[in-house]
Structure 1
Amino acid sequence: MRTQMYIDGEWVDGIGKMPVYDPSDGSVIAEVALAGDKECEAALAAADKAAASWAKSAPRVRAEILRKAFEIMSAEADSIATIVSKENGKVLSDAKGEVLYAAEFFRWFSEEAVRVPGDFRKSPSGDKRILVTHQPIGVSLLITPWNFPAAMATRKIGPAIAAGCTMILKPASETPLTALAIVDIMERAGVPKGVINIILPEKVGASISKMLHDPRLRNLSFTGSTEVGRILLKDAADRVIRCSMELGGNAPFVVFDDADIPAAVQGLMLAKMRNGGAACTAANRVYVQRPVADKFVAEFSKAMGALVMGKGTDSGVQLGASVSMKERNKIAELVSNAVKAGAKIITGGTTPAGDGAFYPATVITCEKDNEILRHEVFGPVAPIVTFDTDEEAIALANDTDFGLISYVFSGDLARGIRTAEAIESGMVAINRGVISDPAAPFGGVKQSGLGREGGFDGIHEFLETKYIGVEI
């Protein structure tokens, strides 16, 4: 297990150590190296030094490195999943699924590396030629969250490598071990020195701000909260740095009266409980049409109440711990406040005693104005609201500042598509509980972010378009 930082092709120590905890029992599982000003500067300098030569590297070379990384990560999925589960708290099956999904970004972008499009055409006047090409944007800062420490790293590293950009990776302090394991894979896959660097700054805010004001940095890719995203955007604005951001979500899950109820329940179990609800794509507001509401609530509550909670690495466990006691307590407070405002607990809702950051699978029913519907719960809590008309469902779904993903269940495809088109969301799943795919563009509207990751669009977050005019 790697615990040092990786800077300019070397594994190095820093100014001290930071403990990494197992949230299921509070024990320390490792201590990782912390970066001071010297290490942060060294990482930026290394990325800058390697930028020109890496930008000129053959796309096939980049593709082969990514393909090799995919093969290594897939082969070592079990051991990496154990790291993810230990430091994040999620159950081992979720962790294994994440690692395999994360590896697919390396495979996808290995194929995209050699397919960056260009354009050469005659001008309308006929006496000139228009040449359009795409070039690497340059040194990129990649900041990843704790909830998907493997997938969010590869979703950024993959296109950066494919595009020919060098990078500095700053993982979440709660889950650095997964990111360090991925950088180790990139080293073994043959990434040249300086192309990828990973740091864990002691003074996170100050160090990131300093980088964003440095002319050597050209691009920022961030996944995290909208609150932090706003701060980073303000810092990046001073030098007009390119930013791509995947921020908060508050996903609606709409169940119409013609939906297949067992399928909708299963879809919500996936959309809500994958990763224990700690996902920006998690269904956060459940809207069920009145004629089927009682049946849906009963069946869904039964499924939620049957989940086995415990240490993520233990056999048979279906719901692990939150990443920290702080996060667990946030969830408990949101539920408590919702109940005080009139919500009714159907199942769960009781905070367990002990050192583990556990919270049970919880279902509540509430009115459409309950404050919990304004928050991204980031945990195993599903608030359910009833509605009467299609128009009301759409209005409720759009009653948020966020627009990352939405879910619609209906037995009428036309109804589902009409609803999907009316909902203000970057992604909509129709009769599906999981939508993420490396081959599809991932991103939101409103305050859920800027840009897209994955799909054909993902590599363009690391490319600049250049127009060359030719006189004939």
Structure 2
Amino acid sequence: MPRLDVIARVEKGVLTGGQWRPAEGGATFPVEDPASGRALCEVADATAADARAALDTAGAAQAGWAAVPPVRRARILRRAHDLLIERTAEFAALITLEMGKSLTESRAEVLYGANYLRWFGEEAVRIDGTWKVSEDGTARVLVTHQPVGPCLLITPWNAPLAMPARKIGPAVAAGCTMIVKPAPQTPLTTAALAALLSEAGLPDGVLNVIPTTQAAAVTEPLLRDGRLRKLSFTGSTPVGRLLLSQAAGGVLRTSMELGGNAPFIVFEDADLDAAVDGAMTAKLRNIGEACIAANRFHVHAGVVDAFTDKLVTRMSSVALGAGTDPTAALGPLIDERQRRRVAGLVDEAVAAGATIRAGGRLPDGPGYFYPPTVLTGIPAGARITREEIFGPVAAIQTFTTEDEALHAANDTEFGLVGYVYTRDLNRALRVSERLETGMVGLNRGYVSDPSAPFGGMKQSGVGREGGNTGIDEYLEQKYLAIDMAAPARDSAAARPGTPESGR
């Protein structure tokens, strides 16, 4: 059971230049325990002045940090990985207390986040370039890579360790300095991670942290400042669109991992037990509060009853409770606003004709809990099929043909991930190629992997995080044209037998 003393050991100020200090003006905001609704502690509420100070520090540190040898950056990340693994219990407790997920899931997130630090530590020494002869032979073409420069990293509340690690890892490996703005719901884990990176040897000023409830007022001046060279954001599509418009003025490099509306397609030949197992993972992982959560279940009419019955049985058996309770498998949603939104989507669908097969009722008692819920008979065009649910609700619709399933799956502005269950190899490849998503889970309900490129199509984002290309988001290519034209030669030096020799 996590104790509240882990919170006492976490810094709660603004981090600039290696120093933790109060916010300008001394304002603070509370961090809640979503299982009880009670405040855990108060954290510094950074202002625009704090953000400018963070950019001053990051800008001043950039040249020196870029010059640090790649192997040293790699060792810092590896040391941070090892420290994080050693302190899994402490970090898992922080995640559970401020975000709500079960301790089992929090421990899994610590490992997942640590692996991004390890992965990009290994990539730091593999930043390469190219050398070739120009087409006309008069030059040599040298292509190198160098750090983009100071980065603003904006992270969400649903993975308070993994998401910062997924951005900090490649930035450190590439030689970029950073300003991290964590979500106000979950700033403690990010603060603890920043302190751990400092302990691992990250120089002062390379990583700066500005917790705040005034996101627009704090980030907009940074995006207008010419010293900032990159924005990486994970969050909703509407906020992503706004940030992209603000980043356009400075022509910033951007990485945007935005909303999802993942289809989960079950064909008539699928292994239904495996499909239900995958559905439980894709739907309930992270309490359903994940951009890659299955949102729309498209099930073949020939197996929909059997699939639904199995899913209802499994969803109904999930124990709801505080993440600190070892008997509970599903924790609370992040706050009352999110719980009202999920409940509203369900109530609206039911009013339009959907049927509740499991859950669907707000439980009594404190905290922001919502039960695992299964809906069938979803009317066409229902809001629950158009918007990201971000909660433990499975909305089931039927199809009869492959084309019908694909049309329904692609009928969205989003394109992050899709899940497909079938035992037909040709169909599996055909459908995977036609899905308009950046990732596909094929007979698998989980796609996140540090060694794979994470990202989407359409309005689900720009760029990729992780994999062999993840570090490219933090590097600029530079091309050098090296003149190799032949020197002038007099007739005495001319090679015999050539026109210049006269012989």
Q: For the superposition of Structure 1 and Structure 2, which TM-score range results when normalised by the shorter chain?
A: over 0.9
Which residue does 1:402 correspond to in 2?
A: 414
TM-score w.r.t. the length of structure 2 is 0.93
Q: Distance in 2 between matches of 1:132 and 1:386?
A: 52
**Superposition map of 1:70-89 within 5 A:** 70-89=81-100
Secondary structure of 1:291's match? Answer: coil
Which residue does 2:16 correspond to in 1?
A: 7
Q: Distance in 1 between matches of 2:11 and 2:142?
A: 46
Which residue does 2:291 correspond to in 1?
A: 280
Question: Which of residues 297, 313, 326 in structure 1 aligns to 2:337?
Answer: 326
Alignment length, in residue pairs?
472
Q: Distance in 1 between matches of 2:444 and 2:213?
A: 41
Question: Which of residues 436, 440, 456 in structure 1 aligns to 2:452?
Answer: 440
Secondary structure of 1:296's match? Answer: helix
Structure 1 residue 17: Cα displacement:
1.5
Q: Distance in 1 between matches of 2:370 and 2:142?
A: 57
Which residue does 2:498 correspond to in 1?
A: none
Q: Distance in 2 between matches of 1:205 and 1:457?
A: 30
Q: Distance in 2 between matches of 1:459 and 1:128?
A: 29
* 1:462 and 2:474 matched: yes
Give, as a single letter, the amino acid of the residue that structure 2 aligns with 1:460: D
Which residue does 2:272 correspond to in 1?
A: 261
Please tell me whether the aligned partners of residues 307 and 361 of structure 1 are also in contact (alpha carbons under 8 angstroms). yes
Q: Which moved more, 1:203-212 or 1:374-383?
A: 203-212
* 1:69 and 2:83 matched: no
Secondary structure of 2:256's match? Answer: strand
* 1:124 and 2:135 matched: yes
Please tell me whether the aligned partners of residues 48 and 217 of structure 2 are also in contact (alpha carbons under 8 angstroms). no
Structure 1 residue 4: Cα displacement:
1.9
Please tell me whether the aligned partners of residues 368 and 385 of structure 1 are also in contact (alpha carbons under 8 angstroms). no
Q: Which moved more, 1:202-211 or 1:181-190?
A: 202-211
Which residue does 1:162 correspond to in 2?
A: 173
Q: Distance in 1 between matches of 2:11 and 2:111?
A: 20
Please tell me whether the aligned partners of residues 122 and 129 of structure 1 are also in contact (alpha carbons under 8 angstroms). yes
Which residue does 2:5 correspond to in 1?
A: none
Which residue does 2:249 correspond to in 1?
A: 238
Q: Distance in 2 between matches of 1:34 and 1:86?
A: 20
TM-score w.r.t. the length of structure 1 is 0.99
Please tell me whether the aligned partners of residues 48 and 221 of structure 2 are also in contact (alpha carbons under 8 angstroms). no
Structure 1 residue 202: Cα displacement:
4.8
Structure 1 residue 20: Cα displacement:
0.4
Q: Which moved more, 1:90-99 or 1:379-388?
A: 90-99
Secondary structure of 2:143's match? Answer: strand
Runs of at least 5 residues in structure 1 that lack an aligned partner in the other structure: none
* 1:53 and 2:64 matched: yes
Please tell me whether the aligned partners of residues 35 and 368 of structure 2 are also in contact (alpha carbons under 8 angstroms). yes
Secondary structure of 1:190's match? Answer: coil
* 1:41 and 2:52 matched: yes
Which residue does 2:493 correspond to in 1?
A: none
* 1:450 and 2:450 matched: no
Please tell me whether the aligned partners of residues 343 and 360 of structure 2 are also in contact (alpha carbons under 8 angstroms). yes
**Superposition map of 1:55-454 within 5 A:** 55-365=66-376, 366-454=378-466
Please tell me whether the aligned partners of residues 245 and 449 of structure 1 are also in contact (alpha carbons under 8 angstroms). yes
Give, as a single letter, the amino acid of the residue that structure 2 aligns with 1:188: E
Runs of at least 5 residues in structure 2 that lack an aligned partner in the other structure: 1-9, 485-503
Q: Distance in 2 between matches of 1:428 and 1:417?
A: 10
Structure 1 residue 412: Cα displacement:
1.1
Give, as a single letter, the amino acid of the residue that structure 1 aligns with 2:295: N
Which residue does 2:490 correspond to in 1?
A: none
Q: Distance in 2 between matches of 1:377 and 1:329?
A: 11
Q: Distance in 1 between matches of 2:311 and 2:200?
A: 45
Give, as a single letter, the amino acid of the residue that structure 1 aligns with 2:163: M
RMSD over aligned CA atoms reads 0.8
Structure 1 residue 56: Cα displacement:
1.1
Q: Distance in 1 between matches of 2:425 and 2:329?
A: 32
Secondary structure of 1:83's match? Answer: helix
Q: Distance in 2 between matches of 1:368 and 1:156?
A: 38
Please tell me whether the aligned partners of residues 352 and 379 of structure 2 are also in contact (alpha carbons under 8 angstroms). no
Q: Distance in 2 between matches of 1:44 and 1:268?
A: 43
Q: Distance in 2 between matches of 1:37 and 1:441?
A: 33
Bigger-Rg structure (1/2): 2
Q: Distance in 1 between matches of 2:218 and 2:191?
A: 19
Secondary structure of 2:42's match? Answer: strand
Please tell me whether the aligned partners of residues 48 and 219 of structure 2 are also in contact (alpha carbons under 8 angstroms). no
Secondary structure of 2:370's match? Answer: coil
Give, as a single letter, the amino acid of the residue that structure 2 aligns with 1:468: L
Q: Distance in 2 between matches of 1:427 and 1:463?
A: 23
Runs of 4+ aligned structure 1 residues displaced above 3 Å come to none
Show CA shifts across 1:37-78 (max 9, x none): 332221110000000011111000100000000000111011
Structure 1 residue 16: Cα displacement:
1.9
Q: Distance in 1 between matches of 2:195 and 2:77?
A: 13
Q: Distance in 1 between matches of 2:425 and 2:117?
A: 34
Q: Distance in 2 between matches of 1:391 and 1:368?
A: 17
Structure 1 residue 13: Cα displacement:
1.4
Q: Distance in 1 between matches of 2:291 and 2:74?
A: 29
Structure 1 residue 457: Cα displacement:
1.1
Please tell me whether the aligned partners of residues 229 and 247 of structure 1 are also in contact (alpha carbons under 8 angstroms). yes
Q: Distance in 1 between matches of 2:37 and 2:343?
A: 18
Please tell me whether the aligned partners of residues 40 and 201 of structure 1 are also in contact (alpha carbons under 8 angstroms). no
Give, as a single letter, the amino acid of the residue that structure 1 aligns with 2:391: G
Structure 1 residue 372: Cα displacement:
1.0
Structure 1 residue 355: Cα displacement:
2.4
Q: Distance in 2 between matches of 1:329 and 1:89?
A: 17
Please tell me whether the aligned partners of residues 29 and 42 of structure 2 are also in contact (alpha carbons under 8 angstroms). yes
Go from structure 1 to structure 2 and tell me whether the alpha carbon gap of 1:202 and 1:320 turns closer, same or farther (over 3 Å shift): closer
